[in-house]
Amino acid sequence: MHYVRLVTGVVSTDDILPARYKHLSVDPQVLAAHVFETRSDWGERLVNSVIVGDSLFGIGSSREQAVTALKSAGVRAVVAPRFGRIFFRNCWNNCLPALTADLNGLVVDGEQVALDLDRGVITTAAGLECSIPRPSPWIHELLDAGGLLLWTQQRVANT
Amino acid sequence: MPLVDQIIASHRIDPVSTPFEVGEIVQVSIDAVYVQDGNSPTIARIFAEYGFDRVFDPERIALFFDHTVLSGDRQMTNRLREAERFAESLGLRVFRAGRGISHLVALEEGWFEPGSIVLGADSHTCTGGVRQCLALGMGASDIASAMVTGSSWLQVPATTFVHVSGTPHSMTSAKDVMLHLLAEYRQEPFLYRSLEWGGEWVEGLDAAGRVTVANMAVELGAKCTFLPPTDGHEGARFHLEPVKAHTILEVDVAGLEPYVAKPHSPFAGEPLGKCAGVTIDYVFAGSCANSSYGDLEELVRGLNGESVNSRVNLVVSPGSAQIYGEAIRNGLLDKLLDAGAIVSPPGCGACVGTQGIVPADGDRVLSTMNRNFLGRMGNPKASIWLSSPRIAGRAAVLGQIPSVEEL
């Protein structure tokens, strides 16, 4: 079970983590404190959360710290109708599900939802089952390996 | 088939060799990778943490020192030295600080070949589309993995052919058209797509304009982009045909006025007339979108031999040492200095916010960059407008955004 955190409008990686932090630190724990800081004061609200966006999510730069910082802050998945392509890749490479679905109006901020990736379903607090994309074979391979880097490590070990 | 399909087909290494569809994920071999000083420490740490100690081909991997050329912060300089050691340990090609912005130097040095696949750790790697290269910006994990394996996973994109015709206003440049497209369409027709460009307006672009169009493909949300071949375009051989694309987008720029994007989004573009008169405190002319030689010429035309306004800092960052040198030889640098411009070493300059000049609280900045999200340039209490170099030059003199007539 996770808590829904609603985000409205187009979200850029500069919103998620301002550019200057990318250079100052590589530690996701340090960066977690700055997540979304130009937009709102999230504090602890991202712990065990599913971010639900209503628009295009993750446009802008390729900085992966935007994803690792979100994970560090406690985000368990991001659901949005559309994703910036680099952000989408960064999410799955780091085993943070980026799920293309429009939940606008179907969930409220703070409600508890259940996420079942294999069945391709998010279940709302009221019991409504919403469709989300099921992982493709490659995405499964990534998730099973624990992310792209572990997958790569295994590849190197096997050659 | 569209160009991106041709390139993917010639690079595919999946065990299964059946025809692929849009949306399908495939594995491809890659031809080159390049990273920057800003992101290589992250990649270096990944290598250390996962025990990677070699790359698929060190000759085809480069590190560019462009994001922070004059480091004013010892923590940053420590990271730069860390990056140098990392490159040396793997035998990578290094382009030292002062050489210029990675994407522009990569173009100069022939890192993008038509029909090749090049990955970069910066989102503006798409600039390689100028040379019909499948050039993809990616995050650190993708880049580290590709450096080690020489391959990457790709989701096959659909192709949109963007046909641009019509004669715009005489002061309207590639930058203005891109800001107009962002305002008019946002990312809707471009998201996740391969963009092929054509039409008389595209065919008439100069070298600087082609770079601007390819560079801002990522702002449009595209996966990749391809410009048509030109004369003197060594090796370019792919003719882009609308009939092969999945969708054709017809864009008519007849009479289009110059554009400015207001704070705090590249999508917030408006015709110049609507922003004229806005006071400007700081003009930054640079970034991979507009730091070619042709852009410096446009900037100088905008200055028109006059001095920079006494209230304004005009900071100019040429895209590369080569461009800088040409500017010196052709007298452009003299004109910039006479006007009172501050000319920085070639590099990303003020764009990212890690080096000068960071705007002051309340500063209204006019910049030739490609992004103006809140906090870009290092101060969330500053506001950034985006424009062409021509508009930037005039604004530096006037101390405000010019009207079309004032250009």
B142 vs A contacts (CB less than 8 Å): 89-90, 93, 148
Nearest to B139 among A23, A24, A86 (CB): A86
pLDDT for res B60: 98
- Dist CA B330 CA B327 (whole Å): 5
Kindly determine whether residue B140 and residue A64, on different chains, have CB atoms separated by under 8 Å: yes
Tell me, yes or no, if B145 comes closer than 8 A to chain A by beta carbon.
yes
Residue from B5, B13, B44, B18 nearest B30 by CA: B13
pLDDT for res A23: 60
pLDDT for res B255: 97
Nearest to A60 among B25, B223, B373 (CB): B373
pLDDT < 70 positions in chain A? 20, 22-26, 41-43
Kindly determine whether residue B144 and residue A149, on different chains, have CB atoms separated by under 8 Å: yes
Kindly determine whether residue B142 and residue A90, on different chains, have CB atoms separated by under 8 Å: yes
pLDDT for res B84: 95
Tell me, yes or no, if B400 comes closer than 8 A to chain A by beta carbon.
no
Question: SS3 of B248, please?
Answer: strand
Measured CA to CA in angstroms, residue A71 lies from A28, A54, B71 at distances of 8, 20, 30
pLDDT < 70 positions in chain B? 15-17, 232-236
pLDDT for res A21: 72
CB atoms within 10 A of CB B21: 9
What one-character DSSP code corresponds to residue B320?
A: B
Instruction: Mutation target for A interface from B26, B37, B39, B216: give the one with most A CBs within 10 A.
Output: B39
Peptide bond between residue B357 and the one before it cis (omega within 30 degrees of 0): yes
Q: How far is A86 from chain B (nearest CA, A)?
A: 6
Q: State the ipTM, two decimals.
A: 0.86
Closest chain A residue to B14, measured at CA: A138
Tell me, yes or no, if B192 comes closer than 8 A to chain A by beta carbon.
yes
Kindly determine whether residue B191 and residue A139, on different chains, have CB atoms separated by under 8 Å: no
CB atoms within 10 A of CB B119: 25
Measured CA to CA in angstroms, residue A33 lies from A29, A94, B6, B42, B333 at distances of 7, 19, 44, 19, 44
pLDDT for res B143: 97
B76 vs A contacts (CB less than 8 Å): 23-24
Kindly determine whether residue B139 and residue A64, on different chains, have CB atoms separated by under 8 Å: yes
What one-character DSSP code corresponds to residue B130?
A: G
B107-140 pLDDT, tens digit each: 999 999 999 999 999 999 999 999 999 999 999 9
- Dist CA B203 CA B281 (whole Å): 36
Packing angle, helices A148-158 and B140-149, rounded to 10: 10
Residue from A59, A68, A70, A75 nearest A14 by CA: A59
- The strand pair at B151-155 and B25-29 is best described as antiparallel
Tell me, yes or no, if B187 comes closer than 8 A to chain A by beta carbon.
yes
A17 vs B contacts (CB less than 8 Å): none
Nearest to B52 among A15, A56, A156 (CB): A156
Owner of token pair 């715009």 = B168
- Dist CA B125 CA B218 (whole Å): 9
Nearest to B223 among A26, A63, A85 (CB): A85
- Dist CA B102 CA B34 (whole Å): 8
B41 vs A contacts (CB less than 8 Å): 26
Kindly determine whether residue B41 and residue A89, on different chains, have CB atoms separated by under 8 Å: no
Kindly determine whether residue B51 and residue A22, on different chains, have CB atoms separated by under 8 Å: no
A94 vs B contacts (CB less than 8 Å): 141
Tell me, yes or no, if B20 comes closer than 8 A to chain A by beta carbon.
no
Nearest to B41 among A26, A59, A136 (CB): A26
pLDDT for res B336: 98
Owner of token pair 């030109």 = B230
Kindly determine whether residue A62 and residue B144, on different chains, have CB atoms separated by under 8 Å: no
- Dist CA A77 CA A54 (whole Å): 14
Tell me, yes or no, if B96 comes closer than 8 A to chain A by beta carbon.
no
- Dist CA A3 CA A76 (whole Å): 9
- Dist CA B32 CA B59 (whole Å): 9
Nearest to A19 among B76, B141, B375 (CB): B375
pLDDT for res A22: 65
Nearest to A152 among B138, B149, B375 (CB): B149
Tell me, yes or no, if B12 comes closer than 8 A to chain A by beta carbon.
no
First to last CA, chain B: 44
A86 vs B contacts (CB less than 8 Å): 123, 137-139, 218
Chain A, chain B: beta-carbon pairs less than 8 Å apart? 122
Nearest to A90 among B52, B139, B352 (CB): B139
Instruction: Please give the sequence-ordered ranges of beta strands (E in DSSP) within B147-246, or none if there are none.
Output: 151-155, 159-165, 194-198, 224-226
Measured CA to CA in angstroms, residue B255 lies from B40, B52, B135, B180 at distances of 44, 55, 32, 12
Backbone region of residue B235 per phi and psi (left: phi > 0; alpha: psi in -120 to 50; beta: other values): left
